Amino acid sequence: MSFRRIVFGAAGVAGAVALLEVVSRTGLVDASALPPATTVLGEAAKLAVDGKFLADVAATLQAWFGGLALAVLVAVPLGVLLGSVPLLGTAARALVELMRPIPSVALIPLAIILFADPTQMKMSLIFYACLWPILINTLYALRDVDPVAKDSLRSFGFGTPSVLWRVSLPSAAPFITTGVRIAASVALIVVVSTELLAGGINGVGIYLSSTQAGGGRTDLLLAGAVWAGVLGLLANLALLGLERVAFRWHSAKVEAIA
Amino acid sequence: MLQITGLTHSYGGDGLKVLDGLDLTVPDGQLVSIVGPSGCGKSTLLRCIAGLIQPTGGRLTLDGRPINGVPDDLAVVFQDYSRSLFPWLSVRDNVALPLRRRGKSRSERRAAAEEALESVGLHDAGRKYPWQLSGGMQQRVSIARALAYRPSLLLMDEPFGSVDAQTREDLEDLVLQVHRTEKMTILLVTHDIDESVYVGDRVVVLNRSPARVHADLPVGLPSVRDQIDTRGLPEFVQLRAEVGRLVRGGARVPGAAPVGAQPAGVAEAKGAGAKPAP
Protein backbone atom coordinates (compact mmCIF):
# COMPACT_ATOMS: atom_id res chain seq x y z
CA MET A 1 0.00 0.00 0.00
CA SER A 2 1.42 3.37 -0.95
CA PHE A 3 2.03 6.21 1.48
CA ARG A 4 -0.42 8.35 -0.47
CA ARG A 5 -3.20 5.80 -0.05
CA ILE A 6 -2.58 5.53 3.68
CA VAL A 7 -2.70 9.32 4.09
CA PHE A 8 -5.92 9.66 2.11
CA GLY A 9 -7.51 6.70 3.91
CA ALA A 10 -6.67 8.21 7.30
CA ALA A 11 -8.06 11.57 6.17
CA GLY A 12 -11.34 9.87 5.18
CA VAL A 13 -11.68 8.23 8.59
CA ALA A 14 -10.83 11.49 10.39
CA GLY A 15 -13.42 13.34 8.29
CA ALA A 16 -16.17 10.85 9.15
CA VAL A 17 -15.27 11.01 12.87
CA ALA A 18 -15.36 14.83 12.75
CA LEU A 19 -18.75 14.82 11.01
CA LEU A 20 -20.29 12.48 13.60
CA GLU A 21 -18.82 14.60 16.36
CA VAL A 22 -20.39 17.79 14.95
CA VAL A 23 -23.77 16.17 14.32
CA SER A 24 -23.95 14.97 17.91
CA ARG A 25 -22.46 18.03 19.67
CA THR A 26 -24.67 20.53 17.84
CA GLY A 27 -27.76 18.58 18.82
CA LEU A 28 -28.79 17.74 15.25
CA VAL A 29 -29.20 14.19 16.54
CA ASP A 30 -30.00 13.33 20.15
CA ALA A 31 -26.65 12.77 21.87
CA SER A 32 -28.00 9.82 23.90
CA ALA A 33 -28.99 8.05 20.64
CA LEU A 34 -25.78 8.94 18.83
CA PRO A 35 -23.05 9.91 21.28
CA PRO A 36 -20.19 12.10 20.00
CA ALA A 37 -17.50 10.16 18.16
CA THR A 38 -14.83 11.14 20.69
CA THR A 39 -16.92 9.67 23.50
CA VAL A 40 -17.35 6.41 21.57
CA LEU A 41 -13.64 6.21 20.74
CA GLY A 42 -12.75 7.01 24.36
CA GLU A 43 -14.92 4.11 25.54
CA ALA A 44 -13.44 1.87 22.85
CA ALA A 45 -9.94 2.71 24.13
CA LYS A 46 -11.03 1.78 27.66
CA LEU A 47 -12.42 -1.52 26.39
CA ALA A 48 -9.00 -2.40 24.96
CA VAL A 49 -7.70 -2.79 28.54
CA ASP A 50 -10.91 -4.20 30.02
CA GLY A 51 -10.26 -7.86 30.96
CA LYS A 52 -13.91 -8.82 30.78
CA PHE A 53 -14.27 -7.38 27.26
CA LEU A 54 -11.02 -9.03 26.14
CA ALA A 55 -12.43 -12.37 27.29
CA ASP A 56 -15.46 -11.63 25.08
CA VAL A 57 -13.19 -10.88 22.13
CA ALA A 58 -11.22 -14.06 22.76
CA ALA A 59 -14.40 -16.16 22.77
CA THR A 60 -15.59 -14.56 19.54
CA LEU A 61 -12.21 -15.05 17.87
CA GLN A 62 -12.09 -18.66 18.98
CA ALA A 63 -15.45 -19.47 17.41
CA TRP A 64 -14.62 -17.37 14.34
CA PHE A 65 -11.29 -19.05 13.57
CA GLY A 66 -12.50 -22.49 14.60
CA GLY A 67 -15.56 -22.37 12.36
CA LEU A 68 -13.61 -20.86 9.47
CA ALA A 69 -10.79 -23.41 9.74
CA LEU A 70 -13.29 -26.25 9.80
CA ALA A 71 -15.02 -24.84 6.72
CA VAL A 72 -11.69 -24.58 4.86
CA LEU A 73 -10.79 -28.16 5.77
CA VAL A 74 -14.08 -29.48 4.40
CA ALA A 75 -14.89 -27.06 1.55
CA VAL A 76 -11.50 -27.08 -0.23
CA PRO A 77 -11.17 -30.87 -0.68
CA LEU A 78 -14.88 -31.10 -1.51
CA GLY A 79 -14.58 -28.28 -4.05
CA VAL A 80 -11.52 -29.93 -5.62
CA LEU A 81 -13.45 -33.18 -5.94
CA LEU A 82 -16.59 -31.58 -7.38
CA GLY A 83 -14.56 -29.28 -9.63
CA SER A 84 -12.37 -31.97 -11.13
CA VAL A 85 -14.99 -34.69 -11.63
CA PRO A 86 -17.57 -33.01 -13.92
CA LEU A 87 -20.23 -35.65 -13.26
CA LEU A 88 -20.09 -35.15 -9.48
CA GLY A 89 -20.04 -31.38 -9.94
CA THR A 90 -23.21 -31.43 -12.00
CA ALA A 91 -24.91 -33.81 -9.57
CA ALA A 92 -24.05 -31.60 -6.58
CA ARG A 93 -24.94 -28.33 -8.23
CA ALA A 94 -28.68 -28.29 -7.48
CA LEU A 95 -28.07 -29.25 -3.86
CA VAL A 96 -25.44 -26.54 -3.43
CA GLU A 97 -27.68 -23.90 -4.99
CA LEU A 98 -30.52 -24.96 -2.67
CA MET A 99 -28.48 -24.97 0.55
CA ARG A 100 -26.43 -21.87 -0.12
CA PRO A 101 -29.15 -19.20 0.24
CA ILE A 102 -30.32 -20.54 3.63
CA PRO A 103 -29.19 -17.84 6.11
CA SER A 104 -27.10 -19.25 8.93
CA VAL A 105 -29.11 -17.34 11.51
CA ALA A 106 -32.21 -19.26 10.39
CA LEU A 107 -30.47 -22.37 11.69
CA ILE A 108 -29.80 -20.94 15.18
CA PRO A 109 -32.73 -22.81 16.79
CA LEU A 110 -31.49 -26.06 15.28
CA ALA A 111 -27.91 -25.38 16.41
CA ILE A 112 -29.13 -24.68 19.96
CA ILE A 113 -30.81 -28.08 20.05
CA LEU A 114 -27.83 -29.89 18.54
CA PHE A 115 -25.00 -28.29 20.52
CA ALA A 116 -25.08 -27.66 24.26
CA ASP A 117 -21.72 -25.87 24.25
CA PRO A 118 -22.09 -22.26 23.00
CA THR A 119 -18.69 -22.30 21.27
CA GLN A 120 -19.62 -25.45 19.37
CA MET A 121 -22.96 -23.96 18.46
CA LYS A 122 -21.35 -20.78 17.10
CA MET A 123 -18.70 -22.75 15.25
CA SER A 124 -21.26 -24.96 13.59
CA LEU A 125 -23.20 -21.95 12.27
CA ILE A 126 -20.00 -20.24 11.07
CA PHE A 127 -18.99 -23.48 9.42
CA TYR A 128 -22.28 -23.60 7.54
CA ALA A 129 -22.07 -19.98 6.45
CA CYS A 130 -18.41 -20.24 5.34
CA LEU A 131 -18.77 -23.53 3.55
CA TRP A 132 -20.52 -22.05 0.50
CA PRO A 133 -18.28 -19.17 -0.56
CA ILE A 134 -15.19 -21.38 -0.18
CA LEU A 135 -16.79 -24.40 -1.87
CA ILE A 136 -18.11 -22.42 -4.80
CA ASN A 137 -14.86 -20.50 -5.37
CA THR A 138 -12.87 -23.73 -5.23
CA LEU A 139 -15.25 -25.56 -7.53
CA TYR A 140 -15.29 -22.89 -10.22
CA ALA A 141 -11.55 -22.22 -9.94
CA LEU A 142 -10.86 -25.91 -10.54
CA ARG A 143 -13.26 -26.01 -13.44
CA ASP A 144 -11.67 -22.94 -15.03
CA VAL A 145 -8.07 -24.13 -14.97
CA ASP A 146 -6.58 -23.37 -18.38
CA PRO A 147 -6.73 -26.53 -20.54
CA VAL A 148 -3.51 -25.46 -22.30
CA ALA A 149 -1.68 -25.45 -18.95
CA LYS A 150 -3.01 -28.92 -18.15
CA ASP A 151 -2.14 -30.23 -21.63
CA SER A 152 1.35 -28.78 -21.29
CA LEU A 153 2.08 -31.00 -18.33
CA ARG A 154 0.16 -33.97 -19.74
CA SER A 155 2.21 -33.80 -22.93
CA PHE A 156 5.30 -34.59 -20.84
CA GLY A 157 3.60 -37.79 -19.73
CA PHE A 158 2.29 -36.66 -16.34
CA GLY A 159 -0.89 -38.41 -15.15
CA THR A 160 -4.10 -36.96 -13.76
CA PRO A 161 -3.02 -36.81 -10.07
CA SER A 162 0.21 -34.98 -11.00
CA VAL A 163 -1.68 -32.51 -13.19
CA LEU A 164 -4.12 -31.85 -10.34
CA TRP A 165 -1.32 -31.32 -7.83
CA ARG A 166 1.12 -29.39 -10.02
CA VAL A 167 -1.18 -27.37 -12.29
CA SER A 168 -4.81 -27.28 -11.16
CA LEU A 169 -4.26 -26.60 -7.46
CA PRO A 170 -1.61 -23.88 -7.89
CA SER A 171 -3.65 -22.07 -10.51
CA ALA A 172 -6.83 -22.32 -8.41
CA ALA A 173 -5.13 -21.27 -5.15
CA PRO A 174 -5.62 -17.48 -5.53
CA PHE A 175 -9.36 -17.93 -6.13
CA ILE A 176 -9.67 -20.32 -3.20
CA THR A 177 -7.97 -17.74 -0.96
CA THR A 178 -10.39 -15.08 -2.15
CA GLY A 179 -13.22 -17.43 -1.17
CA VAL A 180 -11.70 -17.77 2.31
CA ARG A 181 -11.44 -13.98 2.61
CA ILE A 182 -15.11 -13.54 1.69
CA ALA A 183 -16.02 -16.32 4.11
CA ALA A 184 -14.05 -14.64 6.92
CA SER A 185 -16.16 -11.49 6.72
CA VAL A 186 -19.36 -13.52 6.52
CA ALA A 187 -18.19 -15.45 9.59
CA LEU A 188 -17.80 -12.29 11.66
CA ILE A 189 -21.39 -11.29 10.90
CA VAL A 190 -22.61 -14.76 11.79
CA VAL A 191 -20.69 -15.03 15.05
CA VAL A 192 -21.82 -11.65 16.36
CA SER A 193 -25.45 -12.14 15.33
CA THR A 194 -25.52 -15.62 16.85
CA GLU A 195 -24.18 -14.23 20.11
CA LEU A 196 -26.78 -11.46 20.04
CA LEU A 197 -29.68 -13.77 19.26
CA ALA A 198 -28.76 -16.96 21.10
CA GLY A 199 -26.90 -15.53 24.07
CA GLY A 200 -24.22 -17.49 25.88
CA ILE A 201 -21.42 -16.71 28.31
CA ASN A 202 -18.73 -14.79 26.45
CA GLY A 203 -18.55 -13.00 23.13
CA VAL A 204 -18.57 -9.57 21.52
CA GLY A 205 -22.27 -10.03 20.69
CA ILE A 206 -22.98 -10.88 24.34
CA TYR A 207 -21.19 -7.70 25.36
CA LEU A 208 -23.23 -5.68 22.86
CA SER A 209 -26.54 -6.96 24.24
CA SER A 210 -25.34 -6.43 27.82
CA THR A 211 -24.83 -2.70 27.11
CA GLN A 212 -28.55 -2.45 26.51
CA ALA A 213 -29.51 -4.00 29.86
CA GLY A 214 -31.01 -1.49 32.28
CA GLY A 215 -30.71 2.09 31.04
CA GLY A 216 -28.89 1.27 27.82
CA ARG A 217 -25.51 2.70 27.02
CA THR A 218 -25.31 3.60 23.32
CA ASP A 219 -21.74 4.83 23.70
CA LEU A 220 -20.64 1.40 25.00
CA LEU A 221 -22.65 -0.37 22.31
CA LEU A 222 -20.96 1.65 19.61
CA ALA A 223 -17.54 1.20 21.24
CA GLY A 224 -18.05 -2.57 21.07
CA ALA A 225 -19.21 -2.27 17.47
CA VAL A 226 -16.04 -0.32 16.63
CA TRP A 227 -13.97 -3.24 17.88
CA ALA A 228 -16.02 -5.72 15.89
CA GLY A 229 -15.31 -3.60 12.81
CA VAL A 230 -11.60 -3.43 13.62
CA LEU A 231 -11.47 -7.24 13.92
CA GLY A 232 -13.08 -7.61 10.49
CA LEU A 233 -10.71 -5.07 9.00
CA LEU A 234 -7.64 -6.81 10.43
CA ALA A 235 -8.76 -10.23 9.19
CA ASN A 236 -9.36 -8.87 5.71
CA LEU A 237 -6.00 -7.09 5.64
CA ALA A 238 -4.18 -10.21 6.81
CA LEU A 239 -5.75 -12.35 4.09
CA LEU A 240 -5.21 -9.68 1.43
CA GLY A 241 -1.58 -9.49 2.50
CA LEU A 242 -1.28 -13.26 2.17
CA GLU A 243 -2.79 -13.12 -1.32
CA ARG A 244 -0.35 -10.38 -2.38
CA VAL A 245 2.71 -12.19 -1.08
CA ALA A 246 1.87 -15.80 -1.93
CA PHE A 247 0.20 -15.11 -5.27
CA ARG A 248 2.35 -12.31 -6.60
CA TRP A 249 2.43 -14.19 -9.92
CA HIS A 250 -1.33 -13.95 -10.14
CA SER A 251 -1.69 -10.20 -9.61
CA ALA A 252 1.35 -9.55 -11.81
CA LYS A 253 -0.11 -11.64 -14.59
CA VAL A 254 -3.49 -9.95 -14.32
CA GLU A 255 -1.79 -6.54 -14.50
CA ALA A 256 0.22 -7.66 -17.53
CA ILE A 257 -2.98 -8.61 -19.37
CA ALA A 258 -4.81 -5.42 -18.38
CA MET B 1 9.89 -43.32 -37.35
CA LEU B 2 6.39 -41.96 -37.09
CA GLN B 3 3.74 -43.75 -39.15
CA ILE B 4 0.19 -42.53 -39.53
CA THR B 5 -2.32 -44.52 -41.54
CA GLY B 6 -5.93 -43.65 -42.19
CA LEU B 7 -6.10 -41.23 -39.26
CA THR B 8 -9.69 -40.07 -38.76
CA HIS B 9 -11.08 -37.95 -35.98
CA SER B 10 -14.49 -36.49 -35.22
CA TYR B 11 -15.25 -34.33 -32.20
CA GLY B 12 -18.16 -35.28 -29.98
CA GLY B 13 -18.77 -38.85 -31.11
CA ASP B 14 -20.18 -38.68 -34.61
CA GLY B 15 -20.04 -34.90 -34.72
CA LEU B 16 -17.72 -32.70 -36.75
CA LYS B 17 -15.20 -34.69 -38.76
CA VAL B 18 -11.81 -32.97 -38.66
CA LEU B 19 -9.42 -35.59 -40.00
CA ASP B 20 -10.42 -38.01 -42.72
CA GLY B 21 -8.08 -40.86 -43.53
CA LEU B 22 -4.80 -39.00 -43.21
CA ASP B 23 -1.60 -40.88 -44.11
CA LEU B 24 1.86 -39.61 -43.22
CA THR B 25 5.23 -41.22 -42.60
CA VAL B 26 8.04 -39.25 -41.03
CA PRO B 27 11.53 -40.79 -40.91
CA ASP B 28 13.76 -40.09 -37.90
CA GLY B 29 15.52 -36.76 -37.84
CA GLN B 30 13.34 -35.02 -40.41
CA LEU B 31 11.93 -31.53 -39.90
CA VAL B 32 8.47 -31.54 -41.42
CA SER B 33 6.39 -28.41 -41.84
CA ILE B 34 2.64 -28.98 -41.86
CA VAL B 35 0.59 -26.23 -43.49
CA GLY B 36 -3.05 -25.94 -44.36
CA PRO B 37 -5.93 -23.50 -44.34
CA SER B 38 -6.84 -22.30 -40.86
CA GLY B 39 -9.15 -24.65 -39.02
CA CYS B 40 -8.22 -27.60 -41.22
CA GLY B 41 -7.30 -29.89 -38.35
CA LYS B 42 -3.55 -29.28 -38.07
CA SER B 43 -3.71 -28.94 -34.31
CA THR B 44 -5.96 -31.98 -34.01
CA LEU B 45 -3.34 -33.98 -35.91
CA LEU B 46 -0.62 -32.90 -33.47
CA ARG B 47 -2.81 -33.64 -30.48
CA CYS B 48 -3.44 -37.16 -31.81
CA ILE B 49 0.30 -37.73 -32.28
CA ALA B 50 0.96 -36.38 -28.78
CA GLY B 51 -1.57 -38.85 -27.38
CA LEU B 52 -3.58 -36.00 -25.86
CA ILE B 53 -6.69 -37.12 -27.72
CA GLN B 54 -7.70 -40.58 -28.81
CA PRO B 55 -8.53 -40.47 -32.54
CA THR B 56 -11.79 -42.05 -33.60
CA GLY B 57 -10.10 -44.06 -36.33
CA GLY B 58 -6.82 -44.98 -37.96
CA ARG B 59 -3.44 -46.12 -36.74
CA LEU B 60 -0.51 -44.20 -35.29
CA THR B 61 2.79 -45.82 -34.48
CA LEU B 62 6.03 -44.35 -33.19
CA ASP B 63 9.07 -46.57 -33.77
CA GLY B 64 6.69 -49.44 -34.40
CA ARG B 65 4.78 -49.07 -31.14
CA PRO B 66 1.17 -47.90 -31.35
CA ILE B 67 0.54 -44.49 -29.77
CA ASN B 68 -1.74 -45.12 -26.85
CA GLY B 69 -1.49 -42.27 -24.39
CA VAL B 70 1.37 -39.78 -24.37
CA PRO B 71 4.55 -41.32 -25.87
CA ASP B 72 7.64 -41.26 -23.69
CA ASP B 73 10.16 -39.35 -25.75
CA LEU B 74 7.92 -36.58 -26.93
CA ALA B 75 7.62 -32.89 -26.17
CA VAL B 76 5.14 -30.30 -27.37
CA VAL B 77 5.62 -26.55 -27.81
CA PHE B 78 2.27 -24.77 -27.84
CA GLN B 79 1.48 -21.50 -29.59
CA ASP B 80 0.21 -19.83 -26.45
CA TYR B 81 3.36 -19.63 -24.33
CA SER B 82 1.66 -17.46 -21.68
CA ARG B 83 -0.85 -20.22 -21.01
CA SER B 84 1.57 -23.08 -21.46
CA LEU B 85 4.21 -21.88 -18.97
CA PHE B 86 3.34 -21.97 -15.27
CA PRO B 87 3.36 -18.44 -13.84
CA TRP B 88 3.84 -19.61 -10.24
CA LEU B 89 7.17 -21.25 -11.09
CA SER B 90 10.40 -19.50 -11.95
CA VAL B 91 11.71 -19.89 -15.48
CA ARG B 92 14.25 -22.46 -14.30
CA ASP B 93 11.63 -24.47 -12.39
CA ASN B 94 9.33 -24.40 -15.43
CA VAL B 95 12.09 -25.95 -17.52
CA ALA B 96 13.09 -28.40 -14.79
CA LEU B 97 9.59 -29.65 -13.92
CA PRO B 98 9.11 -32.20 -16.75
CA LEU B 99 12.45 -33.79 -15.83
CA ARG B 100 10.75 -35.29 -12.78
CA ARG B 101 9.53 -37.87 -15.25
CA ARG B 102 13.14 -38.73 -16.02
CA GLY B 103 13.86 -39.72 -12.45
CA LYS B 104 16.55 -37.12 -12.00
CA SER B 105 17.59 -35.56 -8.71
CA ARG B 106 16.77 -31.94 -7.92
CA SER B 107 20.30 -30.75 -8.65
CA GLU B 108 20.47 -32.70 -11.92
CA ARG B 109 17.14 -31.21 -13.00
CA ARG B 110 18.33 -27.71 -12.25
CA ALA B 111 21.62 -28.22 -14.06
CA ALA B 112 19.81 -29.58 -17.13
CA ALA B 113 17.40 -26.64 -17.02
CA GLU B 114 20.24 -24.11 -16.89
CA GLU B 115 21.93 -25.86 -19.80
CA ALA B 116 18.76 -25.81 -21.90
CA LEU B 117 18.16 -22.14 -21.10
CA GLU B 118 21.72 -21.40 -22.11
CA SER B 119 21.19 -23.14 -25.44
CA VAL B 120 18.25 -20.88 -26.30
CA GLY B 121 20.18 -17.77 -25.25
CA LEU B 122 18.51 -17.21 -21.87
CA HIS B 123 21.37 -18.01 -19.51
CA ASP B 124 20.51 -15.26 -17.00
CA ALA B 125 16.70 -15.55 -16.95
CA GLY B 126 16.41 -18.68 -14.79
CA ARG B 127 15.46 -16.89 -11.60
CA LYS B 128 12.89 -14.67 -13.26
CA TYR B 129 9.24 -15.53 -13.70
CA PRO B 130 7.75 -16.11 -17.17
CA TRP B 131 5.51 -13.03 -16.95
CA GLN B 132 8.56 -10.86 -16.41
CA LEU B 133 9.84 -11.79 -19.88
CA SER B 134 8.82 -10.64 -23.36
CA GLY B 135 6.69 -12.91 -25.55
CA GLY B 136 9.63 -14.07 -27.64
CA MET B 137 11.65 -14.88 -24.53
CA GLN B 138 8.72 -16.81 -23.06
CA GLN B 139 8.50 -18.91 -26.21
CA ARG B 140 12.25 -19.53 -25.90
CA VAL B 141 11.56 -20.82 -22.39
CA SER B 142 8.93 -23.26 -23.76
CA ILE B 143 11.43 -24.43 -26.34
CA ALA B 144 14.08 -24.82 -23.63
CA ARG B 145 11.60 -26.82 -21.56
CA ALA B 146 11.05 -29.16 -24.50
CA LEU B 147 14.80 -29.43 -25.21
CA ALA B 148 15.75 -30.17 -21.61
CA TYR B 149 13.42 -33.16 -21.78
CA ARG B 150 15.55 -34.50 -24.67
CA PRO B 151 12.67 -35.80 -26.78
CA SER B 152 13.23 -37.79 -29.94
CA LEU B 153 10.07 -36.24 -31.39
CA LEU B 154 9.30 -32.55 -30.97
CA LEU B 155 5.86 -31.26 -31.91
CA MET B 156 5.38 -27.54 -32.40
CA ASP B 157 1.86 -26.18 -32.75
CA GLU B 158 2.08 -22.80 -34.51
CA PRO B 159 4.90 -21.92 -32.13
CA PHE B 160 5.59 -18.47 -33.57
CA GLY B 161 2.02 -17.36 -34.18
CA SER B 162 1.97 -14.85 -31.33
CA VAL B 163 5.33 -13.12 -31.63
CA ASP B 164 6.48 -10.17 -33.71
CA ALA B 165 8.15 -10.64 -37.11
CA GLN B 166 11.74 -10.06 -35.97
CA THR B 167 11.38 -12.47 -33.03
CA ARG B 168 9.72 -14.95 -35.32
CA GLU B 169 12.74 -15.05 -37.60
CA ASP B 170 15.08 -15.47 -34.62
CA LEU B 171 12.98 -18.35 -33.31
CA GLU B 172 12.85 -20.03 -36.75
CA ASP B 173 16.64 -19.95 -36.81
CA LEU B 174 16.68 -21.32 -33.27
CA VAL B 175 14.58 -24.29 -34.38
CA LEU B 176 16.89 -24.91 -37.35
CA GLN B 177 19.91 -24.78 -35.05
CA VAL B 178 18.29 -27.13 -32.54
CA HIS B 179 17.40 -29.52 -35.33
CA ARG B 180 21.00 -29.53 -36.59
CA THR B 181 22.58 -30.09 -33.20
CA GLU B 182 20.04 -32.37 -31.48
CA LYS B 183 19.09 -34.45 -34.53
CA MET B 184 15.53 -34.91 -33.31
CA THR B 185 12.45 -35.36 -35.46
CA ILE B 186 10.41 -32.15 -35.56
CA LEU B 187 6.85 -31.63 -36.74
CA LEU B 188 6.07 -27.95 -37.03
CA VAL B 189 2.51 -26.87 -37.68
CA THR B 190 2.17 -23.40 -39.15
CA HIS B 191 -0.21 -21.36 -41.23
CA ASP B 192 2.67 -19.26 -42.53
CA ILE B 193 3.65 -20.49 -46.00
CA ASP B 194 7.03 -18.71 -46.00
CA GLU B 195 7.88 -20.24 -42.68
CA SER B 196 6.91 -23.74 -43.76
CA VAL B 197 9.37 -23.59 -46.67
CA TYR B 198 12.12 -21.75 -44.80
CA VAL B 199 12.20 -24.16 -41.84
CA GLY B 200 11.20 -27.48 -43.37
CA ASP B 201 13.09 -30.37 -44.96
CA ARG B 202 9.69 -31.19 -46.33
CA VAL B 203 6.36 -29.42 -46.52
CA VAL B 204 3.13 -31.36 -46.03
CA VAL B 205 0.03 -29.48 -47.19
CA LEU B 206 -3.30 -30.48 -45.70
CA ASN B 207 -6.55 -29.66 -47.46
CA ARG B 208 -9.66 -28.17 -45.99
CA SER B 209 -11.37 -29.92 -43.11
CA PRO B 210 -11.89 -32.86 -42.90
CA ALA B 211 -8.16 -32.96 -43.55
CA ARG B 212 -5.99 -35.42 -45.35
CA VAL B 213 -2.61 -34.94 -47.01
CA HIS B 214 -3.15 -32.72 -50.03
CA ALA B 215 0.46 -32.55 -51.16
CA ASP B 216 3.87 -33.57 -49.90
CA LEU B 217 6.82 -31.56 -51.20
CA PRO B 218 10.52 -31.99 -50.53
CA VAL B 219 12.38 -28.76 -49.83
CA GLY B 220 15.57 -28.70 -51.86
CA LEU B 221 17.16 -25.72 -50.18
CA PRO B 222 20.69 -25.87 -48.75
CA SER B 223 20.60 -27.17 -45.19
CA VAL B 224 22.24 -24.05 -43.79
CA ARG B 225 19.66 -21.32 -44.18
CA ASP B 226 19.77 -17.59 -43.86
CA GLN B 227 16.81 -15.32 -43.37
CA ILE B 228 17.87 -12.91 -46.13
CA ASP B 229 19.80 -15.10 -48.60
CA THR B 230 17.61 -18.21 -48.50
CA ARG B 231 14.43 -16.24 -48.93
CA GLY B 232 15.97 -14.61 -51.99
CA LEU B 233 16.78 -17.90 -53.74
CA PRO B 234 14.64 -18.63 -56.82
CA GLU B 235 13.98 -22.15 -55.49
CA PHE B 236 12.57 -20.63 -52.30
CA VAL B 237 10.38 -18.18 -54.17
CA GLN B 238 9.02 -20.84 -56.50
CA LEU B 239 8.41 -23.43 -53.80
CA ARG B 240 6.68 -20.79 -51.71
CA ALA B 241 4.40 -19.96 -54.63
CA GLU B 242 3.56 -23.60 -55.15
CA VAL B 243 2.78 -24.20 -51.47
CA GLY B 244 0.71 -21.03 -51.50
CA ARG B 245 -1.31 -22.25 -54.46
CA LEU B 246 -1.83 -25.64 -52.79
CA VAL B 247 -2.94 -24.09 -49.52
CA ARG B 248 -5.41 -21.88 -51.32
CA GLY B 249 -6.93 -25.07 -52.66
CA GLY B 250 -5.41 -25.12 -56.14
CA ALA B 251 -6.89 -27.37 -58.82
CA ARG B 252 -5.26 -30.49 -57.53
CA VAL B 253 -6.76 -33.82 -56.66
CA PRO B 254 -6.57 -34.35 -52.89
CA GLY B 255 -3.81 -36.77 -51.99
CA ALA B 256 -2.16 -36.59 -55.39
CA ALA B 257 1.57 -35.95 -55.59
CA PRO B 258 2.40 -32.38 -56.58
CA VAL B 259 3.41 -33.28 -60.10
CA GLY B 260 1.81 -33.24 -63.50
CA ALA B 261 -0.02 -30.29 -64.94
CA GLN B 262 1.64 -27.37 -63.26
CA PRO B 263 3.04 -24.05 -64.40
CA ALA B 264 6.52 -24.17 -65.88
CA GLY B 265 8.01 -22.12 -63.05
CA VAL B 266 6.86 -24.60 -60.46
CA ALA B 267 8.24 -27.55 -62.38
CA GLU B 268 11.55 -25.74 -62.41
CA ALA B 269 11.35 -25.27 -58.65
CA LYS B 270 10.84 -28.96 -58.24
CA GLY B 271 13.88 -29.56 -60.41
CA ALA B 272 15.95 -27.44 -58.07
CA GLY B 273 14.93 -29.63 -55.13
CA ALA B 274 17.13 -32.23 -53.48
CA LYS B 275 15.01 -34.98 -54.94
CA PRO B 276 14.92 -35.03 -58.71
CA ALA B 277 11.62 -33.93 -60.16
CA PRO B 278 9.69 -36.85 -61.57
Query: Mean pLDDT, consecutive 10-residue segments, chain B of 278 residues?
Result: 93 80 94 88 92 92 91 92 94 96 92 93 92 93 94 93 88 92 93 93 89 90 90 93 84 45 39 37
Instruction: Give phi and psi for A170, each to the nearest 5.
Output: -60, -40
Q: Is A26 within a domain?
A: no
Q: Which residues of A touch B91 (CB under 8 A)?
A: none
Q: How many separate domains does chain A show?
A: 1
Q: What burial class does residue A241 get, using C-beta atoms within 10 Å of its C-beta: 0-12 exposed, 13-18 middle, 19+ buried?
A: exposed
Min distance B239 CA to chain A CA atoms (Å): 33
Min distance A155 CA to chain B CA atoms (Å): 6
Measured CB to CB, residues of chain B less than 8 Å from chain A are 47, 50, 52, 70-72, 74-76, 78, 80, 83-88, 97-98, 101, 129, 131-132, 149
Q: Is residue A134 within 8 Å of residue A71, measured between CB atoms?
A: yes
Q: Is residue A52 within 8 Å of residue A72, measured between CB atoms?
A: no
Chain B residue with minimum CA distance to A253:
B131
- Sorted by sequence, the CB contacts under 8 Å of residue A252 that are 6+ apart come out as B87, B129, B131, B132
User: Nearest Cβ partner of B70 from A157, A167, A250?
Assistant: A157
Chain A residue with minimum CA distance to B97:
A153
Which of B173, B176, B178, B200 lies closest to B189, judged by CA? B200
Task: Give the domain extent around A180.
Answer: 50-257
Q: State the Cα–Cα distance between residues A105 and A122, nearest whole angstrom.
A: 10
To the nearest 10°, report the CA torsion of A142, A147, A150, A156. Answer: 170
Q: How many CB pairs under 8 A join A and B?
A: 62
Q: Do B131 and A154 touch (CB under 8 A)?
A: no
Instruction: Give phi and psi for A173, each to the nearest 5.
Output: -55, -45
Q: Domain holding A206: CATH number?
A: 1.10.3720.10
Tens digit of each residue's pLDDT, chain A (258 residues):
578 999 999 999 999 999 989 998 888 888 888 889 999 999 999 999 999 999 999 999 999 999 999 999 999 999 999 999 889 988 998 899 899 889 888 899 999 899 988 899 999 999 999 999 999 999 999 999 999 999 999 999 999 999 999 999 999 999 999 999 999 999 999 999 999 988 888 999 999 998 888 778 888 999 999 999 999 999 999 999 999 888 988 887 666 655
Q: Do A155 and B74 touch (CB under 8 A)?
A: yes
| Element holding B154 (H helix, E strand) | strand B153-157
Among B88, B100, B154, the residue to mutate for chain A (most A Cβ within 10 A) = B88
CA distances from B147 to A154, B1, B72, B98, B224 (A): 16, 19, 14, 11, 21
Q: Which CATH number fits domain B26-54+69-73+151-250: 3.40.605.10, 1.10.2020.10, 3.30.2420.10, 3.40.50.300?
A: 3.40.50.300
Q: Do A149 and B72 touch (CB under 8 A)?
A: no
Q: State the Cα–Cα distance between residues A122 and A112, nearest whole angstrom.
A: 9
Among B131, B139, B187, the residue to mutate for chain A (most A Cβ within 10 A) = B131
- Domain ranges across chain B: 26-54+69-73+151-250, 81-150
Q: Is residue A200 within 8 Å of residue A210, measured between CB atoms?
A: no
